[in-house]
Amino acid sequence: MAFGKKKENKEKMNQTENQENENLELQNESSSTNDNDSAGSLTEAGIINELVEQINNLNAEIEKQKSEIDNLRDILQRRVAEIDNIKRRHREESAKTWTDAEGNLISALLPVIDNFDRAAEFAPKTEDKEKVIQGFILIHDSLAKMLEQKGLKQIPAKGQPFDYNLHNAIGRYANSEVEPDTVLEVVTPGYMYKDTILRHSDVIISEMPEAPTDDSTKSEEEEK
């Protein structure tokens, strides 16, 4: 009996010890799990904070770029406005220059117009047509001289080699006495104002005569 009780007590003690060990293991597992969860939470929080910081940095950079773009846009708009003002002033100055030039030219033409008026008034009153003609020639020469002083000059053409920059060929004549493409006749004279061509000269230029054909040569020999 005493041996049986001892055995039973020993088994109870073993059970109690086993239970305590199990409880201790459960506690350790629970503690370990809590530690892992805590560590995981700390790691996620760190990643989130880092992402938030990166986002904030990107937003700051975006704002900086927007500010620079706005500054560049303002500079561009000012430059465009300056260019428009320069163009406007240039147009106004050009218009004024031409207006002044036209006024000066008209003023210079007034004496010539007066001479034409006097000649037109004198012509019907005289029978000396030669004097009338000479008067108009003098007026023409006076006008040409005045325009030449202003910078107008006639383009040289007759007897000159044809130059498409100065001349406009409106016809061709066969001529063996001069080089081909020589100006034979000026139909309408051209003019230059300083270095600017106002009008090309309409001219007739030379070309080589066609060589006789064999048939025409035979006909000439038969006639001889």
Tell me which residues of the chain have a pLDDT lower than 70: 1-42, 212-224
pLDDT of the residue at 162: 96
Would the pTM count as exceeding 0.75?
Answer: no
Order of strands across the sheet that contains 183-188: 167-174, 201-207, 183-188
pLDDT of the residue at 167: 96
**In degrees, to the nearest 5, what angle opens at C-alpha 43 toward C-alphas 42 and 49?**
90
What pLDDT digit, counting tens, does each position of 139-156 carry? 989 888 888 888 889 999
- What is the separation, in whole angstroms, between the first and last Cα of the chain? 180
Beta bridge partners of 5: none
Beta bridge partners of 185: 204
Tell me phi and psi for residue 211, to 5 degrees: -70, 140
Q: Domains of the chain by range and CATH?
A: 51-150 (3.90.20), 153-211 (2.30.22.10)
**In degrees, to the nearest 5, what angle opens at C-alpha 54 toward C-alphas 53 and 59?**
100
pLDDT of the residue at 201: 96
Q: Are strands 201-207 and 196-199 parallel, antiparallel or unpaired?
A: unpaired
Length of the chain: 224
